[in-house]
Structure 1
Amino acid sequence: MQLHEDKALLQAYRNGETWAYELLYRQHAVAVQRFLAGGFTFLSRGRTCHFRGGRPGVDVDSIVQETFARAFAPSTRAHYDGERPFKNYVLSIAKNLVLRELQRHDRHSSLEGLEDTADLVLRRARNGGGAMLLPEDLDPERTSADAELGAIVCAYVATLDDEEKQFFDHRFVQLKTQEATAEAMGCTRARVKTLEKKLRGAFLSTLRGRGYFVDRDMKPRWSRKAA
């Protein structure tokens, strides 16, 4: 039985009990290792980038340990809603740790001709599409994490009014500049800046409410210099 289905285990996790940590680690550590070893795509400064698993300078085993240490931090336990699968929760923590370290060192590679999963999610959300379709050969851990993020984006877009959805389409789906977005919407650039600040802040709050980007100031202990 999984954490979100086991009330006793869930309460023990919330209380930070050692036996719960040990059980959850045994259940999910291998999945986190596979997820990190397989790598993942992400967007950075408008570019589609890729984290390659097993790359020099990154100790996967240490990331796994840091992930579970963070998963049992008091604030992280408090943010877990008890509804989403715990595996997805720890995968998002692991991904955030890696991305923060990549941002610190700016060590990522561009991928030409590859459409990031996030782009597919945003386009489907804007067009009213249903569940996100993913290639059958994708790693199940990455598929699960990406599908959850897609659902969060779709739910967020559904809360926007007509003007905000129009802005979201031009600015975040079609990746237009602020000036081009203002021209397409027939409004001022100042209005576009206001919408962008509002939507970015609201979406970040939504992500944090679902366990993403919790404790962003934590300094990871797993980075090491390449030999």
Structure 2
Amino acid sequence: MTTLTTDGWIEEIPGLEIELLGNGNVRLTEKADFEGESWVDVHPIHVRFIAEKLGLLPTRTACDAQGLIDLRSEVEGLQRCMKWVQAQADSLHKMLSKANDRHDHELYPEVYSALELLNFCDFQIDAFEKTGIWAAERQSEPASSPSKGQAWAWQQPLEKSSTKFLLMAMAHLAGDSERCSASVQELADKTSQDRKTVLEGLKRLSDAGLIVDTGERSGATKSVAVYWLATDLNYEPPKTGQLNFEGEDK
């Protein structure tokens, strides 16, 4: 029979009492006919280990564990980006609302679209806040702000939206380092663009002086170009290396 407690629950079976404690551990108490009891506290990791050994759960390999770590990192990155988009949408909505009032409601469609974007961001963030990862992050870290590269990329007056999106993606991948190491295929996957569009976008960004090939190469085969985002006009990249828009190094 299961009995609910303040911190968890207690399950009683013949000769044994199983209790979920407030710290997440499980206490096993042996019920003996003679006076006295013996008990032991078991960590959830131990419980999983026993379940794996008994074949009740599939064995988790080191690769699986790393996959979970990578997934958590991606989710947390998405959470930070969503909060930043929410702030931008709120600022855009306020700006358009003021302009709309001055121009006798001529900008109503734009105001409505900005409001819909803001509502979407609010909905997604509300969903994130109901997850354990988001809650833990809010308790342990202050609210994140966009990196220098992301803020800079957002302000660049690019004509094509696909090129602007590519620059934003590169800034996101670069983080605070302002150096983006990503293959053409990875950029295509991140932006949902085909390789040709990405290559064209890279050339536009290079011609505009917004990205620079550092000459460095990364990856297992040392064939992935490392780009510098030109947020610092005083930066002098290495003279070696050349941006190749055929997808391979020259």
The TM tier, using the shorter chain, reads under 0.3
Higher helix share: 1
TM-score (norm: length of structure 1): 0.23
Structure showing greater relative contact order (alpha-carbon pairs closer than 8 Å, 6 or more residues apart):
1
